[in-house]
Structure 1
Amino acid sequence: MSSVALSAVLDKHIRRLCLDQFPCGKGIWRKDGNGGEAEAVTQDTDTLLDLLSCPHSPWHHDEPWSPQAAALQRVAVMEPERLDADFVCSYFRKLRIVDKDVSVIDNYLLKFCNLQELVLSANRICEISAENLPRTLKVLELRANRLCTLGRLAISPPPRLQYLGLAANHLGSHRDVSQLTGKQWPELVCLDLSECDFQEQRPLLKALGTLPCLRTLVLEGNPFTLAPSYPGFAVDALPRLSYLDAAWIAPEERHRYRGMATMSHLLVDWASATVHVGMMRSVPDPLLDGDPDAPEFPVINYSYKISFVFFSHQTTVYREVVSSAPAKRQSQGQDQGQDQGAEQTQKKSVKLTVVVNAADGGQEKASASFESRYSTSPQQWAYCVDFGDVLTFVVRDLSGFKRFLQQGFRVSIEQEKILSWPAEPSDVNGEGAADKKGKKAKGKDKQKKSVELVADPPVTTVVASSHVSLQVLLCGRPRVDVLCDFGSLHKDPVTESSSITDESGTTDNKSKDESKKKGGTAGGGRAGNKKTPNAKGTRQGQGSEEHDADTPGAETATVELSVELKKWRHSSEVAPLTPANS
């Protein structure tokens, strides 16, 4: 794309005002007061002004690029003799050129000798020279451009500049930090550095502390603002500041953070994010409408777990769960049907803490996106299931973590289906194992209860997924609470797993003995072909019928989830929560 100069855009806007055409200017359409032949087609000044201000007039234009544009047209009607190139440029006090693909700020702007406010948001400016800015400038907005360095802008900028907006640019180098001092900006009152790439909090705030007039500062969206020391460190390091991230700094808030900026052991190069998976509701019972004539074996059990993909580069994960089930971690791209070897046991009241270094095993598969899959412990189906799973991520790559929060992540409900078969008895009195198994399959319920069962590896099916937005965590809010809505789910999603568990694609109904000899894959495929699974013996002390009356037919499945960034609310919280003590 070719470069676009600011002068070309401004010249186009000024020509559009038609200052030398009807109803402006000195044309024959003006009534000179002496009468004459052209009196019938002339207009007085008030009529010409009405043509400019009337909303239904074809000569009425709203010009958002400058509030002086309409006033200049009125001058062109009332005092057309004053119009010349110098007067027109000097008349403007504010210019707003937004999203016009401007990439070059040339010296044409110097003709606007009385300009006080210049807004150039959402353009393609990579560099701007202070030499081409009017010295009268008080407000300069450069949000969402392509600035990679302050460069020549910080060399003798307009001395009366009070507001500087640099948000959403690629700024953040050590050189940029060194150019944000009182030497370059002696009268700066408001500075917007939000959504940039500043990594280190301490050197930046040390430089900003030299700005003698700074009262309003916006820093949210920078990587270091994800650390627990923010905003306490900023509030204590800048005692003259009145507003931080558009919020007034109350005296009691400043008192709570007192002394934080002087703590030499304060580390700001890490963030702590806690993901809490709460209640799952309204997932249909997979055993509803069970076929009473279905074979007794295999016995089918269903359980559910919540999985999500979270940032993992240079990350340590702490899990706190009420259940004594060990934490499970699954690298992105790993086979979801693989047995992870985690057994669920009875619940205890003592919370467990499990440490997983996500930067270790499985990082090769996730190196491109630095994301790994995590899941809760599987729970038996219920209309309401409280997972109570808490994962805390200590992240040291703040820039990568920021990009992850901008994208958000997906949460999935996964179903684990386990087929259990009678154990193969030893060959006693010359009786074959297959014959033994056949007798057990034909036994009564009383005999079935004493049968020892062997479970196949679980077959995992993703029932539903939902996207969770985390943008608010970059806008100053330390916590986001989400009710993930998965919509209305089918009662029996097991048929989807047949393509996963039966790779051969066969759908033949084979005998129990032949299926068992071929292993768990054939058993899984057999169960996938049944229209309804067997409900016998799959609920321990819980029948599906008692939930049938209470379960709405078209209710949507939901999962409660929250993500919270750790923030120190008092200087006394700093010492025990540093990563060295984790």
Structure 2
Amino acid sequence: MSSNKLSAVLEKQIHRLCLKDFPCGYGTWRKTKDSPEGAETEDTDDLLDLLSCRHSPWRDDKSWSPQAPALRRLAVLTPERLHTDFIYNYLTTLRIVDKGVSVIDDGLLKFSKLEELVLNYNRISEIPAENLPSTLKILELRANRLSALNSLTNCLPPRLEYLSLGSNSLGSHDDIFHLTGRHWPQLVCLDLSDCEFKDQQALLSALSTLTCLRSLMLEGNPFTLAPSYPGFTVDSVPQLSYLDTSWISTEERQCFRGLAKNSDLIVNCASATVSVGRVRGIPDPLMRVEENAPDFPVVNYGYFITYEFLSHQTVNLNFDRESKSDAANVTEDDAGLQSNRKCENESCKHLMVYSEDTCHDVAHVSGHSTSKLTWSECMDFSHTQTYIVSDLGGLKRFFNQGLYLTIEEEKVLSWPAASEDVPLAKPSRPVKEKKIRKGEESPIKSGSTKDKSKDKKKKSVPELFQDAPIRRRLGSVHIPLHSLVTGGQKVHVLCHVGALQTESEVEATQTLEKARGHAQQDLGKTIKVDKKKDKDSKQGGGSSTQQKNTAASKGKVKGGQECEMDVHTDNSVSVQLEPVTVEFNAELEKWQSASEAHQLLLPQHNSLIKQPVLS
């Protein structure tokens, strides 16, 4: 794709001002002293009204520069002044947003008095500082394709006071090196939000050298998920007045005083607590059991909630790089696995690529589960787990994606233990085949009455063995966690999964429809047969036979109607299921004061430095 130069886009914007066309500039539409009488001309005031009238097609467009309307007014009042150099020098603010600009060329230097340049949401990957006017005070480059600051800090505008670099792929140690007071001596406001800075201590050490810095935006960076943010930032950069658009009060500054002195104990890791509370709306499984169901198998139901979350791992990378299979040898850190969930290998997914270091901490997505509960109208799982994650970049991506809560049902079939006197049906057969038909004797009833009584005395409660559990997903809901990245500390939601329909209810509905169809077919056949018999009896002239057939026909029709009514009655009985809701909480640990940090800092630091490393 060809590059889209900034100067070309600016020339198009200036051309669209129509400074030489109606109602601006010179033309036959202007009324002058030399204008002939009767000519179609406009007064100057009328021409100015066309520029500002709400419904005028020539209304000013000032979205790209607040000086654009003033230029057009000058083009009406004194068009002789609007030469090219005058236009370039007149524009002090340029806002080219989402125009596909990819290159900042030297054509920008024509705007010799430019003070504000806004280039948000474009495709700029490199900023040659030599092409920026020296008069520039405000530079916004949010949501571009910047991946390094090397080119921006070579020959900086000396008067720059506001710099916005948010939502770019910045975060390396080289980028931190270029964010010092040596490069930005007069910088007052700096926006680094939604970048990829992970090393909190190194970044704050560089920013503390910006002596004029008063406003700082950092939310959305991975290190802001750590408990030490924002307290460590407030104490490390004491000249700040605003942090993430919030005023830093004297009480807050005093609360975190002294925290920066403990920088050697601070570890870049996050502590997230996940809680699953009460669940309502799951239908009672006993409603599925038929009245004439056999005694065996005994069916037990259990319910639990599953979800995926990040867990901390320490991996050893001192292996043969050519052997790809060894990369799967990963052990889970005890500090990050404080839950009783079962993580299967296929459910684990790494969120980052291994580096060249010998040992590296990574985070992986793994499955977690609450304990199982028997059914009740309100099941309180009271599940609370805390996860320690050192891969802050992976945690940021995970929060941006959100997580899924899944409600699962576990059904266990229990059968009596096999014995010589009591033969058992094979567990592999379906439950429906185990039902006893009318008129048939079950294997348990095959013995004599005396044998039955003896068996009952010997074993009043038979020993049961269980089949493998049958698990089924009842429903799932997505929970957004993006607010934890953008400055929020807690997410508390009541998730609405919706009304659930069990498999047995689906089967019952299908069976009911089949029964209704068979009943209607039988009724139709009966009526046809009765009509044929009535016709034959009329031809034979047998009155007694005709009466019998008619009576039989009525009886059959009546019976068919009764069957139809029974089916309709069963269909009208339905259970209105209430929506299924799940209580969910996710909270990031944040230190509220320096004293609280001192109480938690040292034990946490000791636990992290003693993490096991694979050999």
TM class, shorter-length? 0.7 to 0.9
1:232 alignment partner AA: G
Counterpart in the other structure of 2:532: none
1:418 equivalent to 2:423? Answer no
- 1:404-553, aligned counterparts within 5 Å? 404-425=398-419, 427=420, 431=421, 433-434=423-424, 438-439=443-444, 450-492=461-503, 553=576
Gaps of 5+ in 1: 336-358, 360-366, 497-550
Counterpart in the other structure of 1:328: 341
- 1:81-230, aligned counterparts within 5 Å? 81-230=80-229
Q: Report the Cα distance in structure 2 between the residues aligned to 1:440 and 1:4, rounded to whole angstroms.
A: 89
Counterpart in the other structure of 1:400: 394
Counterpart in the other structure of 2:554: none
Counterpart in the other structure of 1:567: 590
2:166 alignment partner AA: A
User: Structure 1 residues 581 and 320 mapped into 2: Cα distance closer, same or farther (>3 Å)?
Assistant: closer
Displacement of 1:557 in angstroms is: 0.4
Counterpart in the other structure of 2:526: none
Q: Report the Cα distance in structure 2 between the residues aligned to 1:289 and 1:125, rounded to whole angstroms.
A: 62
Superimposed CA distance per residue, residues 161-201 of structure 1 (whole angstroms, 9 cap, x where no aligned partner): 11100001111111111111111111111100011111101
User: Structure 1 residues 265 and 186 mapped into 2: Cα distance closer, same or farther (>3 Å)?
Assistant: closer
Which of structure 1's runs of 4+ aligned residues deviate more than 6 A?
Answer: 317-321, 440-444, 446-449, 493-496
Secondary structure in 2 matching 1:236:
helix
Counterpart in the other structure of 1:59: 58
Secondary structure in 1 matching 2:209:
coil
Superimposed CA distance per residue, residues 389-433 of structure 1 (whole angstroms, 9 cap, x where no aligned partner): 1111111111111111111111100001111111123x4xxx464
Displacement of 1:572 in angstroms is: 2.5
Displacement of 1:266 in angstroms is: 2.2
User: Structure 1 residues 392 and 493 mapped into 2: Cα distance closer, same or farther (>3 Å)?
Assistant: farther
Q: Report the Cα distance in structure 1 between the residues aligned to 2:53 and 2:575, rounded to whole angstroms.
A: 59
Structure 1 vs Structure 2 CA RMSD = 2.8
Q: Report the Cα distance in structure 2 between the residues aligned to 1:490 and 1:434, rounded to whole angstroms.
A: 32
Secondary structure in 2 matching 1:333:
helix
Counterpart in the other structure of 1:310: 309
1:267 equivalent to 2:266? Answer yes
User: Structure 1 residues 413 and 317 mapped into 2: Cα distance closer, same or farther (>3 Å)?
Assistant: farther
User: Structure 1 residues 559 and 206 mapped into 2: Cα distance closer, same or farther (>3 Å)?
Assistant: same
User: Structure 1 residues 88 and 494 mapped into 2: Cα distance closer, same or farther (>3 Å)?
Assistant: same
User: Structure 1 residues 332 and 415 mapped into 2: Cα distance closer, same or farther (>3 Å)?
Assistant: farther
8 Å Cα contact 1:205-1:238 kept in structure 2: yes
User: Structure 1 residues 579 and 414 mapped into 2: Cα distance closer, same or farther (>3 Å)?
Assistant: farther
Higher helix share: 2
Counterpart in the other structure of 2:289: 290
Displacement of 1:331 in angstroms is: 2.5
User: Structure 1 residues 245 and 437 mapped into 2: Cα distance closer, same or farther (>3 Å)?
Assistant: farther
Please point out which of 562, 566, 578 is paired with 2:604. 578
8 Å Cα contact 1:297-1:441 kept in structure 2: no
Secondary structure in 2 matching 1:486:
strand
Question: How many percent identity over aligned positions?
Answer: 52
2:463 alignment partner AA: E
Counterpart in the other structure of 1:276: 275
Q: Report the Cα distance in structure 1 between the residues aligned to 2:504 and 2:13, rounded to whole angstroms.
A: 61
Counterpart in the other structure of 1:555: 578
Larger Rg: 2
Please point out which of 360, 381, 386 is paired with 1:387. 381
2:579 alignment partner AA: T
User: Structure 1 residues 112 and 261 mapped into 2: Cα distance closer, same or farther (>3 Å)?
Assistant: same
Counterpart in the other structure of 2:19: 19
1:205 alignment partner AA: L
Displacement of 1:63 in angstroms is: 3.5
Superimposed CA distance per residue, residues 41-72 of structure 1 (whole angstroms, 9 cap, x where no aligned partner): 11111011111111222212433111111221
8 Å Cα contact 2:336-2:389 kept in structure 1: no
1:569 alignment partner AA: Q
8 Å Cα contact 1:228-1:566 kept in structure 2: yes
1:241 alignment partner AA: L
Displacement of 1:208 in angstroms is: 0.5
User: Structure 1 residues 231 and 437 mapped into 2: Cα distance closer, same or farther (>3 Å)?
Assistant: farther
Superimposed CA distance per residue, residues 86-129 of structure 1 (whole angstroms, 9 cap, x where no aligned partner): 11111112111111110100111111122111110111101001
8 Å Cα contact 2:288-2:505 kept in structure 1: no
- With the length of structure 2 as denominator, give the TM-score of the two structures: 0.75
Q: Report the Cα distance in structure 2 between the residues aligned to 1:224 and 1:369, rounded to whole angstroms.
A: 15
Displacement of 1:581 in angstroms is: 3.2
Gaps of 5+ in 2: 314-331, 354-360, 426-440, 508-573, 609-615
Q: Report the Cα distance in structure 2 between the residues aligned to 1:319 and 1:388, rounded to whole angstroms.
A: 19
Q: Report the Cα distance in structure 1 between the residues aligned to 2:307 and 2:446, rounded to whole angstroms.
A: 40
- 1:230-241, aligned counterparts within 5 Å? 230-241=229-240
8 Å Cα contact 1:317-1:394 kept in structure 2: no
Displacement of 1:320 in angstroms is: 10
User: Structure 1 residues 193 and 494 mapped into 2: Cα distance closer, same or farther (>3 Å)?
Assistant: farther
1:386 alignment partner AA: D
Q: Report the Cα distance in structure 2 between the residues aligned to 1:79 and 1:400, rounded to whole angstroms.
A: 60
8 Å Cα contact 1:483-1:560 kept in structure 2: yes
Which moved further from structure 2: 373-382 or 59-68? 59-68
User: Structure 1 residues 319 and 82 mapped into 2: Cα distance closer, same or farther (>3 Å)?
Assistant: closer
Secondary structure in 2 matching 1:312:
strand
8 Å Cα contact 1:233-1:261 kept in structure 2: yes
Aligned length: 488
